[in-house]
């Protein structure tokens, strides 16, 4: 099934949404260009042109507010949609406010004249220049007037400006309480000597600007409708087939195969939708739209993995047992691990950054199996020196028998999986590491000569035909021992020294 067939029922509404959003983005850019607005003010700030950055911010804020004013009172969704597309306005406000705060913090000492970028490069204390202080005063002065206008609008029953009052004047007054700097904050409106500065903030309300606003409002309205239509279709897809509910019910009834099939179907939709969005440079937009609808899936995944943990803890007993039903469940879980790992890889290769991904199920569940193997190896010791003078031989022989039987059972069970998945090799390493830990523990104990001989003899026979070298296990024991020695050379030499 190709990508278009997977998302066939969602593609028309998604195409329409992306088409309208592209028109909206273009129209917005043209509006900003015609008003000489730069939405990224970082370069202005870095060059000490804080007032220039503020002028761009005010113009950008005014465009947003003019668009919001065109929306009627009962169109809250549209107003929220418009505000969402003007997130840069508040980002610019935070950047400018942060620079003002930093600059006034630096004025706790004497003001010094610097190199023109707003800060004195010859001072370690970061004092600001007189020019920067003048820029800040003009900003605070004009912003206080906008806050006052906002209060007048509210009192007259008109829509107030978003996120106003900003109260930057109060911020500055609180930060510079002494009389020298309070003079800078005595703001009662724009003085006649700075009327030209105020004119720089104006956007001419000519016919062209009004037409652009109306066009923008139309595109915002149409794009919002297309977004709602796409979201409704996505919701219908998830609810009509009851995919999420059915997947959860399947897990509850231990029908893991049916559950993972449902989850893969939903995940396939998400992947192809995001791939389509990426091809149209709209990945972030579509991903944000999908998040509310895909958040419930993570809880279903969590329920699935909890069920999987139960079977992995009992994995060795299941493999060795005669009951076919638990074996089928374990097989489904191992296949689900492989499928989910491929999904993780797909997202990673396409640079899709999603919350809660990658799942890393293989590492999580194989860690559980490895810990269970370790516990099993530790449980092989049933006797000590007090009960049997040949306790080392006895315990290691029990260890050998169980390991050979466990690995044979694992090999027989895992033969249904492709060799490149390395599942059987993982089991071999789990047991080898567990045995190595057991041998190291014995080697560090106080052994007599009889026990040393028994231990050294078992170590020598470990890769041979009576242990891991048994033909039906198909283990390359020499490569295994060379890559991961059963016992460190220093510990082996210590055993020889003890014997001598």
Q: What is the pLDDT of residues 435-489, one digit of tens each?
A: 888 888 888 877 788 888 888 888 888 888 888 888 888 888 888 888 888 888 8
Instruction: Name residues whose C-beta falls within 8 Å of residue 342's C-beta, 6 or more positions apart in sequence.
Output: none
| pLDDT for the residue numbered 197 | 53
Strands (E), 240-285: none
Tell me which long-range contacts 428-432 makes (C-beta under 8 A, separation of at least 24).
428/468, 428/475, 428/480, 429/484, 430/369, 430/370, 430/373, 430/374, 431/373, 431/377, 431/403, 431/406, 431/407, 432/468, 432/480, 432/484, 432/486
Residue indicated by tokens 């005669």 = 322
pLDDT value, residue 180: 43
Tokens of 50: 């804080």
* pLDDT the model gives residue 179: 42
* CA separation, residue 118 to residues 38, 45, 56, 494 (Å): 21, 9, 19, 70
Quote the tokens at residue 339. 């499928």
How far apart, in whole angstroms, are the C-alpha atoms of residue 117 and residue 425?
63
Q: How many CB atoms lie within 10 A of CB 395?
A: 20
Close Cβ partners of 225 (under 8 Å, ≥ 6 residues apart): none
Q: Supply φ then ψ for residue 119, to 5 degrees.
A: -130, 150
State the Cα–Cα distance between residues 481 and 475, nearest whole angstrom: 11
- Is residue 250 within 8 A of residue 262, CB to CB? The reply is yes
Q: Which pair of tokens denotes residue 138? A: 């003009």
pTM of model > 0.85: no
DSSP lists the bridge partners of residue 119 as 128
Rounding to the nearest 10 degrees, give the CA dihedral for residues 257, 258, 260, 261.
Answer: 120
Residues of the chain with pLDDT under 70: 1-6, 72-76, 107-128, 176-207, 241, 381-384, 387, 499-500
pLDDT at 204 (0 to 100): 53
Query: Distance between terminal CA atoms of the chain?
Result: 71
The pLDDT value recorded for residue 168 is: 86
Distance CA 327, CA 367 (A): 19
Cα 448 versus chain centre, distance: 56
**Nearest alpha carbon to residue 447 among 387, 495, 394:** 495
pLDDT value at position 256? Answer: 92
- Angle, alpha carbons 422-428-433 (nearest 5°): 125
**What is the maximal distance between C-alpha atoms in the chain?**
106
> From the CA atom positions of the chain, what is the Rg in Å?
36
- State the Cα torsion 117-121-126-129 to the nearest 10°: -40
């Amino acid at each position: 099934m190709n990508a278009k067939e997977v998302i066939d029922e969602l593609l028309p509404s998604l195409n329409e949404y992306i088409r309208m959003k592209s028109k909206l983005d273009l129209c917005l850019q043209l509006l900003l260009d015609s008003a000489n607005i730069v939405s990224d003010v970082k370069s202005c700030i870095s060059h000490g042109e804080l007032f220039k950055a503020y002028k761009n911010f005010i113009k950008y804020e005014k465009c947003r507010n003019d668009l919001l004013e065109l929306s009627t009172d009962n169109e809250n969704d549209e107003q929220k949609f418009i505000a969402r597309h003007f997130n840069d306005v508040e980002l610019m406000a935070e950047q400018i406010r942060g620079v003002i705060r930093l600059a006034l913090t630096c004025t706790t000492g004497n003001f010094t004249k610097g190199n023109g970028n707003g800060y004195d490069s010859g001072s370690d204390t970061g004092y600001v220049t007189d020019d920067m202080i003048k820029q800040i005063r003009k900003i605070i002065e004009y912003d206080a007037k906008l806050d006052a206008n906002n209060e007048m609008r509210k009192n007259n029953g008109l829509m107030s400006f978003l996120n106003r009052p900003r109260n930057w004047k109060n911020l500055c007054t609180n930060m510079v309480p002494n009389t020298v700097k309070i003079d800078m904050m005595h703001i009662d409106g724009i003085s006649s000597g700075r009327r030209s500065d105020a004119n720089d903030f104006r956007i001419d309300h000519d016919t062209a600007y009004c037409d652009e606003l109306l066009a923008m409002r139309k595109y915002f309205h149409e794009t919002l409708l297309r977004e709602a239509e796409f979201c409704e279709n996505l919701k219908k897809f998830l609810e009509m087939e009851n995919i999420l509910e059915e997947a959860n019910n399947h897990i509850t009834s231990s029908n893991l195969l049916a559950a993972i099939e449902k989850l893969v179907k939903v995940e396939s939709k998400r992947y192809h939708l995001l791939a389509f969005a990426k091809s149209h440079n709209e990945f972030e937009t579509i991903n944000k739209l999908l998040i509310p609808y895909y958040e419930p899936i993570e809880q279903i995944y969590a329920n699935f993995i909890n069920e999987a943990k139960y079977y992995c803890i009992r994995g060795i007993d299941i493999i060795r047992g005669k009951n076919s039903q638990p074996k089928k469940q374990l097989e489904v879980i191992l296949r689900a691990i492989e499928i989910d790992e491929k999904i993780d890889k797909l997202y990673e290769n396409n640079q899709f950054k999603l919350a809660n991904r990658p799942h890393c199920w293989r590492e999580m569940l194989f860690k559980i199996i490895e810990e269970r193997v370790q516990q099993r190896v530790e449980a092989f010791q049933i006797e000590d020196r007090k009960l049997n003078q040949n306790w080392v031989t006895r315990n290691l022989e029990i260890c050998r028998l169980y390991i050979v039987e466990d690995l044979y059972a694992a090999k027989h069970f895992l033969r249904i999986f492709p060799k490149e998945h390395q599942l059987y090799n993982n089991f071999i390493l789990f047991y080898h590491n567990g045995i190595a830990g057991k041998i190291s523990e014995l080697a560090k104990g106080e052994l007599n000569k009889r026990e040393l001989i028994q231990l050294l003899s078992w170590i020598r026979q470990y890769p041979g035909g009576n242990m891991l070298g048994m033909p039906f296990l198909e283990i390359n024991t020499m490569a295994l021992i060379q890559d991961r020695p059963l016992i460190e050379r220093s510990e082996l030499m210590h055993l020889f020294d003890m014997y001598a």
